[in-house]
Chain A
Amino acid sequence: MKVEEKLSLLNYKTDPEYAHITIKPPICAVCPDHFCTFACPAKCYTLLNGKLNFKYEDCVECGTCFVACAHGSVTWTNPKGAHGVKYKFG
């Protein structure tokens, strides 16, 4: 099963007005490693024709990318109250 299918099992309260993670594209454009694409368990970071593509909607709020990015591109804040991932089991 692909990660995308696994994520489709989850319940999200997506906040259409607030992205809790933002990246700085100029930094990502010259990034030598794009380690975020390997580290993020929710595949929020992908390379599209060599360009970094990021989406916050699938984020499971683990915080991995904030530690993974050694170049200062990732700004990580908590989603606004009751938004984001909502687990059933944990």
Chain B
Amino acid sequence: MSEFDVIVVGAGPAGSSAAIKLASEKMNVLLVDRADPPGSKNISGGVLWGNDLEKIVPNWNKMAPVERYITSKGVGFLTKDSSIDVNIKSRKFLQGVTGYSVLRVKFDQFLAKRAESAGAMLVSGVTVENLAFKDGKVIGVVQEGDTITADTVILAEGANPRVAIDSGARRPIADQDVAIGIKEVVKLPEATINERFGLTSKEGFAGEYALGFLEDGVEAGGFLYTNRESISLGVVINMGHLRADDKTYSFDIMDQFTDHPSIASLIENGKLSEYSAHLVVEGGYNSFPKQYGNGYMIVGDAAGLSFSNGLMIQGMNYAIASGILAAETAIEAKKSSDFSEKSLSRYKEKLMESFVAKDAYNFKGIEEVTWGKLAHKIMPSLMEDVLVNMFLTDGTPKKHLTELIRKAMKENNVKSSDLLMEGYKMIRRM
């Protein structure tokens, strides 16, 4: 007889969602997090998309500490001297559901407390050291020499999942699985943010950027989101590219991003309030690790469930969705008293049926594009040349647009065949 039905390791969105679902179905669940208070080690890009949370916490957006509702989206290509931005602000965003900017320390505490009030036992400030095994099955967790037993363990440790890796539950992380994320929170008065981004107090802006100004083939993306009284902005740096380059410092890329004229003007006179870093799960469908086994399931970032299609980065809603699916699987396993790998394989099936895996599958190979030359180098420099020439008045007659493009392609040493090839890849992936 196990002490708990389920032990959930990690109280981020994935773990807390699993615990909320489990506890609300009267399962005996322990939710344990190494941070105290839970959430105080968690960071994210900052926008929570989608509405899975609604299923387990109805009207969460009215109760949870959210910052702003995203009504304005932007994509920017930053070259050394210029930025080419496409911004969309649409009333349609108000009718559908986009996302909320959140600050994770407060938000994750809210979710963990919800799990506790739903009936889960919440223990924070304790680091689980390992999984406990018996006859090849996970039977609980180990901490300071004690084994705490459970029928099922859900590992929700995030992007740096020590217990999952060290216990052999999942393979170690490789270069292609992750990018290095660096983020800063810059304090600014609410009114200044509203003014700079053309927002009302509850409306928010979320932008993604291709950092085309970086030299030496290091490719990185940037992001910038508005909170109520601060701006979260950061960079996501491809691990493999940085390694191949071996002369660029990750933290310098962050500075180059915040120093770029078009970004610097958005955070001008702001006060840096927090600097943070986090691995960003990048792998996608082609590199999902093993997500379940005998007596355990892995959810959220720890299971490689994150997604980026170049226009949006998503992780938290996949974390929440996978947490709920793992909880459902654990509930079904309890009904049949079968916690074997075969029984828990229902989790993988549920994942594959859900939008989580479908998104990942539909955008399979997107990393080739998002980390490709086209998005980061060719398109930005082409567009820069074309647009700058279009608007520059130097006394010579205006040239036709196609002529400008052809000239820019020549100057940027871009062959039409390459552009076609890269463009085809991009369209196919997106």
- Consider the complex of A and B and state whether they touch directly, i.e. have CB atoms less than 8 Å apart: yes
Bits for A2-13, please: 1 = Cβ < 8 Å to B, else 0.
010011011000
Contact A86 B173 (CB under 8 A): no
Contact of A90 among B108, B177, B249 (CB under 8 A): B108
Shortest 5 CB-CB distances between A and B: which pairs?
Answer: A63-B160, A90-B104, A82-B125, A41-B277, A6-B275
* Nearest Cβ on chain B to A35's Cβ, whole angstroms: 5
Contact A9 B274 (CB under 8 A): yes
Q: Complex: how many Å from CA A88 to CA B37?
A: 11
Q: Complex: how many Å from CA A37 to CA B239?
A: 13
Size bin of chain A's contact surface: 35 or more
- Interface segment out of the listed B134-142, B240-248, B336-344: B240-248
Q: Complex: how many Å from CA A3 to CA B108?
A: 27
B185 interface hit (Cβ, 8 Å): yes
A66 interface hit (Cβ, 8 Å): yes
Binding site for B on A (CB under 8 A): 1, 3, 6-7, 9-10, 33, 35, 37-43, 60-64, 66-68, 70, 76-82, 84-90
B16 interface hit (Cβ, 8 Å): no
Q: How many A-B residue pairs have CB under 8 A?
A: 131
B121 interface hit (Cβ, 8 Å): no
Cβ contacts under 8 Å, B160 to chain A: 61-63, 66, 76
Contact of B39 among A1, A38, A90 (CB under 8 A): A90
* Nearest Cβ on chain A to B185's Cβ, whole angstroms: 5
* Nearest Cβ on chain A to B336's Cβ, whole angstroms: 34
Q: Complex: how many Å from CA A9 to CA B77?
A: 31
Binding site for A on B (CB under 8 A): 34-36, 39-44, 103-108, 124-127, 159-160, 162, 166, 173-175, 177-178, 180-182, 184-185, 230, 232, 239, 242-243, 245-251, 254, 272-279
* Nearest Cβ on chain A to B50's Cβ, whole angstroms: 19
Q: List 6 A-B contacts (CB under 8 A).
A: A33-B246, A38-B249, A39-B239, A64-B180, A64-B279, A82-B126
Extra contacts, 12 of them, besides A67-B279, A76-B162, A88-B274 (Cβ < 8 A), are A3-B275, A7-B275, A60-B276, A62-B278, A63-B159, A67-B239, A68-B239, A81-B125, A82-B126, A84-B41, A89-B230, A90-B103
Known: A7-B275, A81-B125, A90-B104. A67 touches B175 (CB 8 A): yes
Cβ contacts under 8 Å, A76 to chain B: 160, 162
Cβ contacts under 8 Å, A70 to chain B: 243
Q: Complex: how many Å from CA A84 to CA B127?
A: 11
* Nearest Cβ on chain A to B164's Cβ, whole angstroms: 12
Cβ contacts under 8 Å, B34 to chain A: 78-79, 81-82
Known: A68-B239, A81-B127. A41 touches B251 (CB 8 A): yes
In chain A, what residue has the closest Cβ to B173?
Answer: A67
Cβ contacts under 8 Å, B175 to chain A: 67
Q: Complex: how many Å from CA A37 to CA B246?
A: 9
Contact B243 A68 (CB under 8 A): yes
Contact A85 B41 (CB under 8 A): yes
Known: A40-B250, A41-B180, A89-B273. A79 touches B127 (CB 8 A): yes
Interface hub of B40, B107, B239, B273 (most chain A Cβ within 10 A): B40
* Nearest Cβ on chain B to A61's Cβ, whole angstroms: 6
Cβ contacts under 8 Å, A62 to chain B: 160, 180-181, 277-279
